[in-house]
Amino acid sequence: MADKDAGTPRVFLYRHGETEWTKNGRYTGITELSLTEQGEKQVLASGKMLVGRGKLIDPSKLAHVFVSPRNRAKQTFEIAFSEEDRTVLSGKGKVTETTKLAEWDYGIYEGLKTKDIRLLRKEHGLDQEKPWDIWRDGCEGGETAQQVTERLDSLIDTIHGLQAGNMNGENPCDVVLFAHGHLLRAFVKRWLKYPMEFPLSMMLEPGAIGVLSYQHHNISEPAVLVGVGFPLEG
Protein backbone atom coordinates (compact mmCIF):
# COMPACT_ATOMS: atom_id res chain seq x y z
CA MET A 1 0.00 0.00 0.00
CA ALA A 2 1.31 3.46 -0.85
CA ASP A 3 2.36 5.71 2.03
CA LYS A 4 -0.33 8.37 1.72
CA ASP A 5 1.12 10.35 4.62
CA ALA A 6 4.76 10.50 3.44
CA GLY A 7 6.29 13.92 3.93
CA THR A 8 3.86 14.95 6.67
CA PRO A 9 5.59 16.95 9.44
CA ARG A 10 6.38 15.13 12.67
CA VAL A 11 6.84 16.11 16.30
CA PHE A 12 9.46 14.08 18.15
CA LEU A 13 9.10 13.72 21.93
CA TYR A 14 12.52 13.20 23.55
CA ARG A 15 12.34 12.40 27.26
CA HIS A 16 15.40 13.22 29.34
CA GLY A 17 17.55 10.37 30.57
CA GLU A 18 17.51 8.78 33.99
CA THR A 19 18.13 10.81 37.17
CA GLU A 20 18.46 9.58 40.75
CA TRP A 21 14.80 10.42 41.38
CA THR A 22 13.68 8.75 38.15
CA LYS A 23 15.12 5.50 39.45
CA ASN A 24 13.03 5.43 42.61
CA GLY A 25 9.82 7.00 41.33
CA ARG A 26 10.01 10.36 43.08
CA TYR A 27 8.06 13.19 41.46
CA THR A 28 10.59 15.62 40.01
CA GLY A 29 9.29 19.00 38.92
CA ILE A 30 11.38 22.08 39.71
CA THR A 31 14.19 20.23 41.48
CA GLU A 32 17.36 20.46 39.40
CA LEU A 33 18.96 17.05 38.97
CA SER A 34 21.64 15.93 36.53
CA LEU A 35 21.45 12.73 34.53
CA THR A 36 23.03 9.66 36.06
CA GLU A 37 25.76 7.88 34.15
CA GLN A 38 23.11 5.42 32.97
CA GLY A 39 20.90 8.34 31.95
CA GLU A 40 23.66 9.76 29.77
CA LYS A 41 24.12 6.36 28.14
CA GLN A 42 20.37 6.10 27.43
CA VAL A 43 20.32 9.45 25.66
CA LEU A 44 23.55 8.76 23.78
CA ALA A 45 22.24 5.40 22.55
CA SER A 46 18.98 6.91 21.28
CA GLY A 47 20.83 9.82 19.73
CA LYS A 48 23.38 7.68 17.91
CA MET A 49 20.65 5.56 16.42
CA LEU A 50 18.03 8.19 15.59
CA VAL A 51 19.61 11.67 15.44
CA GLY A 52 21.86 12.92 12.64
CA ARG A 53 22.12 13.45 8.91
CA GLY A 54 20.05 10.88 7.04
CA LYS A 55 18.57 9.49 10.27
CA LEU A 56 15.03 9.67 11.63
CA ILE A 57 15.63 13.03 13.31
CA ASP A 58 17.62 14.83 10.62
CA PRO A 59 18.80 18.31 11.72
CA SER A 60 18.49 19.57 8.13
CA LYS A 61 14.76 18.77 8.23
CA LEU A 62 13.96 20.53 11.50
CA ALA A 63 11.86 23.65 11.76
CA HIS A 64 12.50 24.02 15.49
CA VAL A 65 13.74 22.43 18.70
CA PHE A 66 11.97 23.33 21.96
CA VAL A 67 13.74 22.55 25.24
CA SER A 68 12.49 22.58 28.84
CA PRO A 69 14.46 24.95 31.11
CA ARG A 70 15.27 22.15 33.54
CA ASN A 71 18.93 21.09 33.48
CA ARG A 72 18.16 17.42 32.85
CA ALA A 73 16.33 18.31 29.63
CA LYS A 74 19.04 20.72 28.45
CA GLN A 75 21.68 18.08 29.17
CA THR A 76 19.70 15.57 27.11
CA PHE A 77 19.61 17.97 24.14
CA GLU A 78 23.37 18.52 24.39
CA ILE A 79 24.04 14.78 24.35
CA ALA A 80 21.52 13.84 21.67
CA PHE A 81 22.71 16.37 19.08
CA SER A 82 26.31 16.90 18.02
CA GLU A 83 27.94 20.20 18.93
CA GLU A 84 28.06 21.12 15.24
CA ASP A 85 24.34 20.52 14.74
CA ARG A 86 23.45 22.42 17.93
CA THR A 87 25.54 25.36 16.75
CA VAL A 88 23.93 25.41 13.31
CA LEU A 89 20.39 25.11 14.70
CA SER A 90 20.99 27.81 17.30
CA GLY A 91 22.57 30.08 14.70
CA LYS A 92 19.43 29.82 12.60
CA GLY A 93 17.23 30.68 15.58
CA LYS A 94 15.76 27.18 15.66
CA VAL A 95 16.34 26.38 19.34
CA THR A 96 14.07 27.77 22.06
CA GLU A 97 14.16 27.12 25.78
CA THR A 98 10.60 27.41 27.05
CA THR A 99 8.79 27.07 30.37
CA LYS A 100 5.87 25.65 28.40
CA LEU A 101 7.82 22.37 28.42
CA ALA A 102 8.82 22.47 32.09
CA GLU A 103 7.68 19.41 34.01
CA TRP A 104 4.34 19.58 35.83
CA ASP A 105 4.69 21.73 38.96
CA TYR A 106 4.05 19.19 41.70
CA GLY A 107 3.81 21.75 44.50
CA ILE A 108 3.97 20.10 47.93
CA TYR A 109 4.26 16.69 46.24
CA GLU A 110 7.76 17.46 44.95
CA GLY A 111 10.11 14.58 45.76
CA LEU A 112 7.34 12.26 46.94
CA LYS A 113 6.15 8.94 45.52
CA THR A 114 2.57 8.19 44.48
CA LYS A 115 1.76 6.18 47.60
CA ASP A 116 3.05 8.99 49.82
CA ILE A 117 1.03 11.61 47.93
CA ARG A 118 -2.16 9.61 48.35
CA LEU A 119 -1.56 9.22 52.08
CA LEU A 120 -0.87 12.95 52.42
CA ARG A 121 -4.06 13.86 50.58
CA LYS A 122 -6.07 11.56 52.86
CA GLU A 123 -4.60 13.46 55.82
CA HIS A 124 -5.79 16.67 54.16
CA GLY A 125 -9.33 15.31 53.88
CA LEU A 126 -9.14 14.76 50.13
CA ASP A 127 -9.97 11.80 47.87
CA GLN A 128 -12.58 10.19 50.10
CA GLU A 129 -14.24 8.45 47.16
CA LYS A 130 -11.48 8.06 44.56
CA PRO A 131 -7.69 7.78 44.83
CA TRP A 132 -5.63 10.74 43.65
CA ASP A 133 -5.18 11.04 39.90
CA ILE A 134 -2.88 13.84 38.76
CA TRP A 135 -4.67 14.11 35.42
CA ARG A 136 -7.91 14.96 37.21
CA ASP A 137 -6.84 16.40 40.56
CA GLY A 138 -3.60 18.25 39.87
CA CYS A 139 -1.23 19.05 42.74
CA GLU A 140 -1.69 20.94 46.00
CA GLY A 141 0.42 24.07 45.86
CA GLY A 142 1.36 23.26 42.28
CA GLU A 143 -0.35 23.14 38.91
CA THR A 144 -3.86 22.08 38.07
CA ALA A 145 -4.59 19.99 35.00
CA GLN A 146 -6.16 23.09 33.44
CA GLN A 147 -3.00 25.16 33.91
CA VAL A 148 -0.88 22.49 32.23
CA THR A 149 -3.47 22.25 29.46
CA GLU A 150 -3.27 25.97 28.79
CA ARG A 151 0.50 26.14 28.43
CA LEU A 152 0.64 23.03 26.25
CA ASP A 153 -2.17 24.26 24.02
CA SER A 154 -0.22 27.47 23.52
CA LEU A 155 2.85 25.51 22.43
CA ILE A 156 0.76 23.31 20.14
CA ASP A 157 -0.62 26.44 18.49
CA THR A 158 2.97 27.57 17.85
CA ILE A 159 3.88 24.19 16.35
CA HIS A 160 0.80 24.21 14.13
CA GLY A 161 1.90 27.62 12.90
CA LEU A 162 5.27 26.18 11.87
CA GLN A 163 3.80 23.11 10.18
CA ALA A 164 0.43 24.14 8.71
CA GLY A 165 1.83 25.35 5.39
CA ASN A 166 4.13 22.36 4.96
CA MET A 167 1.83 19.36 5.22
CA ASN A 168 3.25 17.74 2.09
CA GLY A 169 6.92 18.27 2.84
CA GLU A 170 7.21 21.65 1.06
CA ASN A 171 9.83 22.81 3.60
CA PRO A 172 11.77 21.15 6.44
CA CYS A 173 9.23 21.20 9.21
CA ASP A 174 9.85 18.54 11.85
CA VAL A 175 9.93 19.64 15.50
CA VAL A 176 11.69 18.12 18.52
CA LEU A 177 10.61 18.57 22.15
CA PHE A 178 13.09 17.86 24.96
CA ALA A 179 11.13 17.48 28.17
CA HIS A 180 9.81 15.18 30.89
CA GLY A 181 7.74 12.07 31.51
CA HIS A 182 4.48 13.55 32.77
CA LEU A 183 4.69 16.66 30.64
CA LEU A 184 5.25 14.77 27.37
CA ARG A 185 2.41 12.37 28.07
CA ALA A 186 0.21 15.38 28.81
CA PHE A 187 1.37 16.84 25.49
CA VAL A 188 0.17 13.70 23.67
CA LYS A 189 -3.28 14.04 25.20
CA ARG A 190 -3.58 17.66 24.15
CA TRP A 191 -2.12 16.95 20.69
CA LEU A 192 -4.93 14.45 20.19
CA LYS A 193 -7.43 16.98 21.62
CA TYR A 194 -8.27 14.81 24.63
CA PRO A 195 -8.92 16.38 28.04
CA MET A 196 -6.27 15.64 30.66
CA GLU A 197 -8.55 13.27 32.56
CA PHE A 198 -9.09 11.10 29.45
CA PRO A 199 -7.88 7.59 30.43
CA LEU A 200 -5.13 7.16 27.86
CA SER A 201 -2.45 4.80 29.20
CA MET A 202 1.03 5.75 27.97
CA MET A 203 4.63 4.84 28.73
CA LEU A 204 7.80 6.75 27.81
CA GLU A 205 11.11 5.43 29.11
CA PRO A 206 13.97 7.73 30.14
CA GLY A 207 15.98 8.70 27.06
CA ALA A 208 13.22 7.41 24.76
CA ILE A 209 11.71 9.10 21.70
CA GLY A 210 8.03 9.21 20.76
CA VAL A 211 6.57 10.46 17.47
CA LEU A 212 3.44 12.44 16.62
CA SER A 213 2.20 13.58 13.23
CA TYR A 214 -1.01 14.14 11.23
CA GLN A 215 -3.32 11.97 9.15
CA HIS A 216 -4.08 12.76 5.52
CA HIS A 217 -1.66 15.72 5.45
CA ASN A 218 -4.28 17.60 7.46
CA ILE A 219 -3.40 19.99 10.29
CA SER A 220 -6.84 19.26 11.78
CA GLU A 221 -6.14 15.52 12.08
CA PRO A 222 -3.34 15.15 14.65
CA ALA A 223 -2.22 11.56 15.24
CA VAL A 224 0.21 9.30 17.05
CA LEU A 225 2.69 7.79 14.63
CA VAL A 226 2.47 4.26 15.99
CA GLY A 227 4.97 2.73 13.56
CA VAL A 228 8.01 4.54 12.20
CA GLY A 229 10.03 3.64 9.12
CA PHE A 230 13.77 4.27 9.37
CA PRO A 231 15.62 5.94 6.49
CA LEU A 232 18.75 4.35 5.03
CA GLU A 233 21.97 6.16 5.81
CA GLY A 234 24.08 7.40 2.95
**Domain edges within the chain:** 11-224
In this prediction, residue 1 carries a pLDDT of 27
Alpha helix positions (H), the chain: 20-24, 37-50, 71-80, 83-91, 114-123, 134-137, 145-163, 181-191
In this prediction, residue 39 carries a pLDDT of 96
Q: In what order do the strands lie in the sheet with 11-15?
A: 95-97, 62-67, 174-179, 11-15, 209-214, 222-224
Per the residue annotation, which of 16, 64, 180, 182 is the catalytic one? 16
Known binding-site positions for substrate: 28-29, 72, 103-106
Look up 103 and say whether it is catalytic. yes
In this prediction, residue 231 carries a pLDDT of 62
Q: Residues in the chain with pLDDT < 50? A: 1-3
Q: Which CATH superfamily is domain 11-224 in?
A: Phosphoglycerate mutase-like (3.40.50.1240)
Mean pLDDT, all residues of the chain: 93
Per the residue annotation, which of 18, 20, 37, 103 is the catalytic one? 103
Look up 124 and say whether it is catalytic. no
In this prediction, residue 226 carries a pLDDT of 81
In this prediction, residue 190 carries a pLDDT of 98
In tens, the pLDDT along 36-60 reads: 999 999 999 999 999 999 899 999 9
222 CB neighbour count, 10 Å cutoff: 19
Can you give the pTM of this predicted structure?
0.93
In this prediction, residue 230 carries a pLDDT of 63
124 CB neighbour count, 10 Å cutoff: 10
